[in-house]
Amino acid sequence: MAPGADVDPATAPFFRDLDEEAHAGLRGLLQRARFDPGEILWQQGAAADGAHVIERGTVEVSRRLPDGDSQSLATAGAGEILGELGLFGEGRRSGEARAVDKVATVFLSRDAVNMLASHPSTAITSLRRRCCHVGAARLRRRHAALAETLPAGDQPHPPLATPSVVDLSAAAWDSYVPKLSFFADWGPDELESLRARARIVSVPRQTWLYRRGDLPASCHVVVNGVLVERIERGPKAVKTGVVGPGRASGYVGIVLGSEHSVAAVAYERAVLMELQTEVFAELYDGRNQVSRRFVESFHRDVMVAVRQAERPHITVAAGVE
Amino acid sequence: MLFDAERSLVKQSYDSRLTSSNVNLAGFGMVAWDARLRNPAEPLTYRTTSLPVYDRNLRSIARKLCPNSFVGHVRGTRLLDEEVVSTQNLHPFRYPDTTVALSHNGILRSFPELRFALVDHMREEWAAAIEGTTDSEWIYALILSQLPSGETPDADGLATAVRRALAIVRRCWSEHGVETSSPLNLVVATPSALAATRFSLFYGWHVDDDPLLDIAGPYASLWYSLTDSFAADRGGRDGDARAFVLASEPLTGDDGAWFEVPEYSMVTATYDAGELTVAVEDLLV
């Protein structure tokens, strides 16, 4: 990687859509990088240290599979971000990124993001929201590609569950909910604010919460039990993710304004925190403390979902009758 | 696989990456079927409650072993007074009158209170054969009871018996109003076939005073690899250049050589006339 000059975030692809405060926070943190054809941006398994936004050229991401073959995961061009999972938290690269031709990128390091997060500003929330959108779009593309690998044809599905509204005791709100990973950093006042807006529902085992292609009316955070996200087509299905306590489901369509890209089936009886689309929109706008907390938790969940969906078995070995 | 691999099974007794406690100090066990040994249907069986990393006998046996089929297990237990560390409680379990062996990673919660509900679903000979105090041995006896008598089952037969046994446990536990997350990653094997689960009963349901309560805890792990790296050590027998290896975490340092078994899955593998067949199916019990 040949280092280049600092970049103005207000004119850089991907970052230019962020707000003024984010631009101010990112100033001095973006770096330009250049790669020759065939040059490796990162190796599979390397520690993830940041993300590249492609300004010019094409990058192919591929993965070495357990059987020794190589699988192309994506080809990205100008304006697209690669490696954004490496911006937040520890992690390793799930594939190798290689420049197809002459490539120029804007690089943002995880260290820079940590620095940004250490100052009180909305910049980090804006960045997280942008990454959520990228993650949701990535999941949707992945789901569509997986559906294409399954044989055509419709299969009759069981009817959708009718969630029944249940009470979650005050003790559960005080002692159990804060232990869930989604609410790990939430304060009592923030949880109380969410409690006023969310609905707690229960769905029986082996029922469908939503189907692929349905328009989302709500999304859910699992309190107890488990949802399995699946893509059904013809007689086959692929499990794309397992959503247990403290994980969220059903948001891809809401974030992207589209239909559900997977189905969700309760493999165990489940108690869920239901957020109607308008409640989700309020929580996701990043304008107050509760919303910023929500965006942070939601973004963590999106990263987990993307990692789950990129596991090799999902594409190679998870075809199930 | 036992000692030399970067993340070998023996190493996992004191430094496992993907189990909740990181240590599995309650003993080691293995069964190994080798077609060249006398009475090949009878596996070489070895169990010890001592730490396998210091076990020179095990190291010596491992150097000489070249099995067709092998199941090894390092046992972890909760750090509680009521746990019993003994050879009777070591996996894999295999009773003398069957070719089927079982090992289990996980815990069937509320087992001490509810185990007798399972007796009605066991054949007398298997219920009477139980020697130890573990949930795993009871599950073993329950699975044996779902198999036809006197036959060596193929992989499909093993998988069917496991599904039936899991359904019985679910029904018995639900009837008693107990629905608490119970990881049941099972490996059931014969000299030529295997069925394994990555499965948790009542996943996502907890009791507050559970000493193992870990709400954010991940689903118990299971990985597999179709590799020649272990088969190469086996003396280059005809037709067995590749081996199917299933483990709770990748045994080699390179995770890229391993597939993660999807949650709620049944893996079956058959080795027949030099042909290795592997399948992964959904497991919704």
Interface ipTM above 0.85: yes
Tokens of A75: 């080809």
Q: Averaged over B159-186, what is the pLDDT?
A: 96
SS3 B278: strand
pLDDT, tens digit (0-9, with 9 covering 90-100), for A133-169: 999 999 999 899 888 888 877 767 777 888 999 999 9
Residue A190 has pLDDT above 90, yes or no: yes
Q: How many CB atoms lie within 10 A of CB A156?
A: 5
SS3 B116: helix
Kindly report the nearest CA distance between residue B202 and chain A, in angstroms. 6
Residue B30 has pLDDT above 50, yes or no: yes
Q: Work out how many CB contacts closer than 8 A connect A with B.
A: 89
CA dist., res. B104 & res. B200, Å (int): 12
pLDDT, tens digit (0-9, with 9 covering 90-100), for B141-160: 999 999 998 889 999 999 99
- The predicted pLDDT at position A105 comes to 96
Give the residue on A whose Cα is nearest the Cα of B224. Answer: A66
The DSSP element (H or E) to which A275 belongs, if any, is strand A270-276
Q: Averaged over A119-125, what is the pLDDT?
A: 83
Torsion of CA A108, A110, A115, A118, to 10 degrees: 130
The answer to whether A239 contacts chain B (CB < 8 Å) is: yes
Q: Which of B203, B268, B285 to mutate to test the interface with A (most CBs of A within 10 A)?
A: B203
Please tell me the class of the A152-320 domain: mainly beta
Q: How many CB atoms lie within 10 A of CB A148?
A: 10
pTM over 0.95: no
CA dist., res. A305 & res. A3, Å (int): 32
Which residues, listed in sequence order, are joined to residue B186 by a DSSP beta bridge?
B104
Higher pLDDT, A94 or B202: B202
Kindly report the nearest CA distance between residue B126 and chain A, in angstroms. 30
Please tell me the class of the A2-121 domain: mainly beta
Contact between B240 and B226 (Cβ < 8 Å): no
pLDDT, tens digit (0-9, with 9 covering 90-100), for B215-224: 556 788 999 9
Residue A317 has pLDDT above 50, yes or no: no
Kindly report the nearest CA distance between residue A39 and chain B, in angstroms. 21
The distance from CA A251 to its chain's CA centroid, rounded to whole angstroms, is 9
Confidence at A289, pLDDT banded by 50, 70, 90: very high
Q: Averaged over A222-238, what is the pLDDT?
A: 89
Contact between A217 and A276 (Cβ < 8 Å): yes
A chain contacts of residue B276, beta-carbon cutoff 8 Å: none
Contact between A160 and A211 (Cβ < 8 Å): yes
SS3 A300: helix
Q: What phi, psi does B6 have (nearest 5°)?
A: -60, -35
Q: Pick from B75, B5, B33: which is nearest to B227 by CA? A: B5
Which residues, listed in sequence order, are joined to residue A33 by a DSSP beta bridge?
A3, A105
Q: Which of B197, B215, B224, B225 to mutate to test the interface with A (most CBs of A within 10 A)?
A: B215
- The predicted pLDDT at position A122 comes to 83
Q: Averaged over B227-242, what is the pLDDT?
A: 56
Confidence at A236, pLDDT banded by 50, 70, 90: confident
What are the domain boundaries of chain A? Answer: 2-121, 152-320
CB contact under 8 A, A313 and B261: yes
Domains of chain B in sequence order: 11-282 (3.60.20.10)
- The predicted pLDDT at position A318 comes to 40
Residues of chain A with pLDDT > 70, as a percent, come to 94
CA dist., res. A127 & res. A24, Å (int): 12
A chain contacts of residue B215, beta-carbon cutoff 8 Å: 176, 179-181, 245-246
- The predicted pLDDT at position B211 comes to 58
B chain contacts of residue A320, beta-carbon cutoff 8 Å: 262, 265, 280-282
B chain contacts of residue A300, beta-carbon cutoff 8 Å: none
CB contact under 8 A, B204 and A180: no
Higher pLDDT, B187 or A116: B187
Kindly report the nearest CA distance between residue B223 and chain A, in angstroms. 10
CA dist., res. B40 & res. B51, Å (int): 28
pLDDT, tens digit (0-9, with 9 covering 90-100), for B34-77: 988 888 889 999 999 988 989 999 999 999 888 989 999 998 87
